[in-house]
Amino acid sequence: MAKLSIADLEEIRNKVKKSTLLREGSFNAKITVHMGTCGIAAGARTIMNTLIQIIEESKRNDIIVTNSGCAGFCSKEPMVTVELKGESPVKYSSLNESKIKKIFEEHVLNGRIVAEYALAIGNEREP
Amino acid sequence: MRIKRKNQSRQCSLPDEKVDLTLLDELLKKYSGKQGSMISLLQGTQEIYHYVPVSAIKKIAKEANLSESDIFGVITFYSQFRLNPVGKYIIKVCHGTACHVQNAPDITNALMIELNVEDGKTTDDRLFTLESVSCLGCCGLAPVITVNEDVYGKLKRADIHKIIQQYKSLEEKQNG
Amino acid sequence: MEFRTHIMVCAGTACVSCGSFNVKKVLEEEIKKRGLDKEILVVATGCQGFCAQGPIVVVQPDDIFYQLLTPEDVPFLVEEHFLKGRPVKKMMYTPPGEKTEIPTMSEIGFFNKQRLIALRNKGLIDAEQIDDYIGRNGYNALIKVLTEMTQDDVIKSIKDSGLRGRGGGGFPTGLKWEICKNSKGDLKYIICNADEGDPGAYMDRSIIESDPHSVIEGMLIGAIAIGAHEGVVYIRTEYPLAIKRLETAIEQAREYGLLGKDILGKGFDFDLRIKQGAGAFVCGEETALLASIEGKRGMPNKRPPFPAESGLWGKPTNINNVETWANIPWIILNGADRFASIGTEKSKGTKVFSLVGKINNTGLVEVPMGITLKEIIFDIGGGVPNGKKFKAVQMGGPSGGCIPAELGDTIIDYDSVNATGAIMGSGGMVVMDETTCMVDVAKYFLNFTQAESCGKCTFCRIGTKRMLEILQRICEGKGEEEDIEKLQELAAQIKDSSLCGLGQTAPNPVLTTLKYFRHEYEAHIRDKKCPAKSCKTLLTFEINDKCIGCGACARVCPTKAITGEKKKKHLIDQAKCIKCGACFDICKFSSIDKN
């Protein structure tokens, strides 16, 4: 990759901003698994593997799984954030394999938030 | 995950095991002529042998033009380095503050009884090495131990027996 | 001018098409009509990503979402929420098809008192994708510095922000940069101290794991300000995931030309490498860290000369810790004033703490300076589990101290925390309840510093050992009346005659526990009792009449000290008992007394 100029950087920024908001991208759902050291220790890897497997089984190609760092709430790990196109992200906590399967089935595929496992809706803010 | 310092000085009779020293060649080449790379060299050595054999110290000293005593000084200064071979499974018991107040000493105690080995030592069958570390950084799961890459959190004394048995039976299976 | 509330009206394409500009106009009129225009600011923002519910209005700092607003709703909303302070539930967002309302992040105590600067991207971006960081305004601060600011502008901005070193010392960052910039030398170094050694603190690891580019960008800005072209991140080898993510980040930044020669075509060169530490707590000290990077035993040297004048390989060197670096891009982008508006008079901005120990919500939290300990422990941390009483909180790791529950109203800033005898430190906050023995805690930390003392200064090397021995004796019930005095004397001498921070602060855990929990020491020494029932040698385990003879205790006892017939009360042979507590843990009928 060639070195960037300031204009190139701005272009990347604009492109990313659009796609991360899931507005204009081709994806309809984004699942973020929080994988810091503590999350992995608490079992985030299993959650990730399960997700990859069930997405494959669902034959949907408009769902992305990505990982991100620690969400900070260590006692509630493993955590994932589910974001559907045009909706506010929902954080789920203290997950295991069967819970993530249910969340995938209910929330990701059918748009019904699984309230019993949900921790919160929305994102944190900067000052 | 700092390994707690044990007195490893005054221990003049270090094990002199036969190891394949040619494994060091690539490492020595990588850091050849680079300033201040003694620690990186030793980290690389330990990655190869899981400890720093005496013969490796001699070879590094000779080829990297360092003094053996300087190398020994650095090894004994930093808790990462080991001068003794380790077991197949390294058990690290976290003794960070959070784990300490959640009864980590009990966990070490239980492991010492279960494995019949002192803290910092390896079992006679070279299967387990028991270590205390200062913080694994999984304070939310306190008290925590790791067995090689596996992490076990929110432990109680009673869990220890099951965890160890699991590895023992795995070994038995592998050995037929 | 300070506004108490910001109303963010979404001006994304979708909301505008639903009439958000009309809503904004009416909002402004209504607010003016009621004389609130000095307190409340209405702003148009970019898309909130909540397009299906537009027009969206978000009220800050309460973080309340209003959805599907019409101009007709506005007068009622302004009257209820902004005049009378009652948020209007029916206009808020409720997830579709849900009976149970799921709280927003800000309705959850754990999140709503937090303010994110250093952790601004936590959980939002993929740390291994540089584009994700760029998308969140990453490297924008670098562009600003390269195109609009001089070296002095940058330093002035950091100075004005009031940012102080987040590694524990609290030295003003801008001043540190200025000294290094003014030092003579053709070659200068920038170092990121990621040798996070305090047990119970892991914020630096988490920042690097979740947002490595914020640290790289911070270092780049520091390098420009000081005039350095080489940087080193000294990171604990015990953090494999953090190292891997940082390596990836550095590689990606190089590919984009954000590291290397002629950065962004602006003629500035800077590159970065990683140096792994090898496990020595003392290497968190600046001069010891430098020795370790040079491949030597990590022993501290005397200052002056300070690293800013003569550091790595004898060249001027600026060292800041991970969290400090991660704050820099935010300050440049959002302005020093905005940063300085958060916090107290002498401590600005936010601080990240790892909240651990006997607490319900363990985790990593970023709070504004000036918040009280109680707010952190109860509102964010959710208090102490299992109905136990909050006793103390340990701050600052082995260099810090224990702050008792009575001082829960202490605010978080460098000076207020110092006044208690603890220190801000790197941000470990370990909560303790009534079952934690304070003498044991002091012993724990002394054991740590004693083992980690590099051995250069006699008082640190031998003094800490003697203190530890005394504490061990006290915990075993062999303490003597004059032990407390001896501890105080040794503490004073170690503080006075040690070269580096490790020795100078090593006695702090003992001194603070003596100051606030002297009665616990006295109970151990005089009555040979541990009030927290934690010191094992001072306890006896006995089986009471509630025993139903289930035999669970006998099965777990490692020394077979418990005997008894089935369904009959069991008995512990005190001669065989090693006081491990296994029986106490397993008994479901509270039939084991420990006293």
B83, part of any domain: no
Angle between helices C464-475 and C438-452 (to 10 degrees): 150
What is the reported pLDDT for C130? 93
What is the reported pLDDT for A24? 45
Compare all CA atoms of chain A with the CA of C203 and give the residue at the minimum distance.
Answer: A72
For chain A, which domains are there?
Answer: 26-121 (3.40.30.10)
Task: Kindly report the pTM of this predicted structure.
Answer: 0.82
Residue A26 contacts B where some CB pair is shorter than 8 Å: no
Helix, strand, coil distribution of chain B in percent, nearest 5: 45, 10, 45
Q: What is the mean pLDDT of residues C13-27?
A: 72
Contact B139 A37 (CB under 8 A): no
Contact B74, B39 (CB under 8 A): yes
Query: How near does any CA of chain B get to the CA of C90, in Å?
Result: 37
Does one domain contain both B112 and B156? yes
Lowest mean pLDDT among B84-98, C104-118, C194-208, C235-249: C104-118
B116, part of any domain: yes
Nearest by CB to B106, from C281, C452, C581: name it.
Answer: C581
Burial (CB count <10 Å: 0-12, 13-18, 19+), residue C419: exposed
Last residue of a domain, one of B31, B57, B77: B77
Q: Checking DSSP bridges between strand C57-60 and strand C5-10, what pairing results, if any? A: antiparallel
Burial (CB count <10 Å: 0-12, 13-18, 19+), residue C84: exposed
Does one domain contain both B60 and B31? yes
pLDDT per residue over A23-79, tens digit each? 445 678 889 999 887 788 888 889 999 999 998 898 888 888 888 877 778 788 899
The percent of residues above 70 in pLDDT, for chain C, comes to: 94
Amino acid at C379: D
Range of the domain at B140: 89-174
pLDDT per residue over C424-433, tens digit each? 988 989 999 9
What is the reported pLDDT for C16? 61
pLDDT per residue over A23-38, tens digit each? 445 678 889 999 887 7
In the stretch 232-261 of chain C, residues with CB closer than 8 A to chain B read 236-239
Does one domain contain both B37 and B105? no
B57, part of any domain: yes
Q: What is the mean pLDDT of residues C234-247?
A: 90
Compare all CA atoms of chain A with the CA of C102 and give the residue at the minimum distance.
Answer: A120
Does one domain contain both B94 and B167? yes
Does one domain contain both B71 and B95? no
Domain count, chain B: 2
pLDDT per residue over C52-73, tens digit each? 566 778 777 666 778 777 888 8
B105, part of any domain: yes
Query: How near does any CA of chain C get to the CA of A71, in Å?
Result: 5
B122, part of any domain: yes
A31 phi and psi angles, rounded to 5 deg: -115, 120
In the predicted structure, residue C320 carries a pLDDT above the cut 90: yes
Does one domain contain both B62 and B125? no
Angle between helices C322-334 and C203-210 (to 10 degrees): 60
Listed residue (C586, C422, C414, C432) closest to C505, CA to CA:
C422
User: Strand, coil or helix: what is C194?
Assistant: strand
Residue C460 — pLDDT band, cuts 50, 70, 90?
very high
Does one domain contain both B59 and B125? no
Does one domain contain both B71 and B29? yes
Last residue of a domain, one of B77, B110, B142: B77
B3, part of any domain: no
Which of C58, C126, C359 should we substitute to test contact with A (largest number of A Cβ atoms within 10 Å)?
Answer: C126
Does one domain contain both B62 and B114? no
Q: Residue with structure tokens 């149970």? A: C100
What is the reported pLDDT for C93? 63
C353 phi and psi angles, rounded to 5 deg: -125, 145
Does one domain contain both B62 and B93? no
In the predicted structure, residue C390 carries a pLDDT above the cut 60: yes
Spatial strand order of the sheet with C230-235 comes to C271-276, C230-235, C189-194, C317-321
Separation between Cα atoms, residue C583 and residue C567, nearest integer Å: 16
What is the reported pLDDT for C98? 42
Signed CA dihedral, C478, C482, C488, C492: sign only: negative
Tokens of C484: 């407390």
What is the reported pLDDT for B115? 94
What is the reported pLDDT for A102? 93
Residue C310 contacts B where some CB pair is shorter than 8 Å: no
Which of C203, C207, C230, C238 should we substitute to test contact with B (largest number of B Cβ atoms within 10 Å)?
Answer: C238
In the predicted structure, residue C26 carries a pLDDT above the cut 60: yes
Q: What is the CATH number for B114?
A: 3.40.30.10
Ranges of H-type helices in C34-129: 74-77, 109-112
Listed residue (C359, C375, C364, C381) closest to C412, CA to CA:
C375
Does one domain contain both B66 and B119? no
Residue A123 — pLDDT band, cuts 50, 70, 90?
low
What is the reported pLDDT for A127? 52
pLDDT per residue over C339-385, tens digit each? 999 999 999 999 999 998 899 888 889 999 999 999 999 999 989 99
B118, part of any domain: yes
Lowest mean pLDDT among B28-37, C223-232, C414-423: B28-37
Does one domain contain both B73 and B102? no
Listed residue (C52, C62, C66) closest to C96, CA to CA:
C52
* CA atoms within 13 A of residue C412's CA, in its CB half-sphere: 31
What is the reported pLDDT for C134? 93
B13, part of any domain: no
Spell out, as residue ranges, where chain B has pLDDT lower than 50: 1-2, 9-10
Contact B31, B40 (CB under 8 A): yes
